[in-house]
Amino acid sequence: MSVADGDIAPDFEMPATGGRTVSLSGMKGKPFILYFYPKADTPGCTKEACAFQSGLPDFYGLGIDVIGVSPDKMKPIEKFAAKYGLTFPLASDEEHAVAERYGTWVEKSMYGKKYMGIERTTFLIGADGKIAKVWRKVSVTDHADEVLAAAKGLG
């Protein structure tokens, strides 16, 4: 299943850093960013998370929350958040049920070996609960800035 611009955001509820729980119902009536990343504390994921963290004042200024999602267990996610001072919720989707609903759990290939994993993807979800924009196969360089520019257009 793949989710596209204009679709209603699939439901989710996941444990997140700081003893929080993130859910679609908890975000009702608020625009937010839901981004999926493959693995905590790896170079690309760290760069992406730190870019979202440094952009938080701008996102919050627009009334937009940021939620990161990976298939990692909570313990490595908590360590990752603490190591880089990440204050926004990082959620654990260990069973990759949410990733499957959003179409980000895909077959990948490395060194000729096929495996299942997270495709780095970002969703900008409007206050109406609909997907405003999707970025698939994200390149982390300048990505948070691109998302912020799109978020400014939500108005």
Q: What is the pLDDT of residue 32?
A: 97
- DSSP structure string for the chain: ----TTSBPPP-EEEEGGGEEEETGGGTTS-EEEEE-S-TTSHHHHHHHHHHHHHHHHHHHTT-EEEEEESS-HHHHHHHHHHHT--S-EEE-TT-HHHHHTT-EEEEEETTEEEEEE--EEEEE-TTSBEEEEE-S---TTHHHHHHHHHHTT-
Query: Domain residues of the chain, as ranges?
Result: 13-152
Q: CATH number for the 13-152 domain, one of 3.40.50.300, 3.40.50.720, 3.40.50.1220, 3.40.30.10?
A: 3.40.30.10
pLDDT lower than 70: segments of the chain? 1, 155
Q: What is the pTM of this model?
A: 0.96
From 9, 45, 90, 98, active-site residue = 45
pLDDT at 96 (0 to 100): 96
pLDDT at 138: 93
Residue 50 is a catalytic residue: no
